[in-house]
Amino acid sequence: MKNLIMNHSAFIILLSITFLISCNKNDDADDTDTEVWPTHCSNGIQDQFELDVDCGGSCESCGTIVAPCSSDSNTASLTSFSTLNVTYTNGEVDRYDYEITCNASEGDIIFRFENGRPTEDRAYRIISSTSFWSDNLDSEGKIKMCKGFSGCFYSSSGKLYVEMIGDSSFAIKFCDVEFGGDQTSGDFTGSGYIIHTVD
């Protein structure tokens, strides 16, 4: 009887040790499998060098970012003005920015992206600035839209998106971007889908 009690006690002790070891292993697994992101990665805004809202930079990778609108190919619109139909685009690196000049009916459009040719894994925040040539930060862009005698219009808020088309072309998309004019007073909303073939 005594041996039976001792064997029973030993069994309980052994079972308890096994359970504790198992729990510690599970805790370790949880620590390694769960990625801990900085607090700004879940605040619902694009900040701290993120490439879109709560992704990119020091947060989880964004993957391909799709524009929240669809537009007609090679056109750009600005409220209260006729649509610009782009006939030719030319892209080049200006210092370290990538600049795309678009020839269009009744005007021109210029896009500027920071740090080389734009990619589709980020949403480029538009800088609010009347100086189109001032330096900007990574993942930021600008639009300048000129409309003949009405003057030029500078993007003041919104985002630019990129959609790859094959190996040698990509589309630049912008949706409901706010513009301010240098000769025409007031605020205007613009959208566009411009295809650019890389040289």
Segment 173-177 mean pLDDT: 95
* CA 55 to chain CA mean position, Å: 9
Rounded to 10 degrees, what is the CA torsion of 111, 114, 117, 120?
Answer: -90
> Residue 106 — left, alpha, or beta (φ > 0 → left; ψ -120 to 50 → alpha)?
left
**Tokens read off for 121:** 């894994």
Coil vs helix vs strand at 105: coil
Taking the C-alpha atoms of residue 49 and residue 58, their distance in angstroms, rounded to an integer, is 8
Distance of CA 106 to CAs 33, 51, 87, 125, 174, Å?
57, 34, 11, 27, 19
**pLDDT of residue 7 exceeding 70:** no
pLDDT-derived band at 4 (thresholds 50, 70, 90) equals: very low
Confidence (pLDDT) at 57: 87
Distance of CA 199 to CAs 18, 59, 73, 115, 121, Å?
66, 33, 20, 18, 21
- Asked whether the beta carbons of 162 and 119 are under 8 A apart, the reply is yes
**Tokens read off for 84:** 């610009």
Q: What is the pLDDT of residues 73-98, one digit of tens each?
A: 899 999 999 999 999 999 988 777 89
Q: Residue 19: enclosing H or E segment and its boundaries?
A: helix 2-33
**What is the DSSP code (8-state) at residue 43?**
S
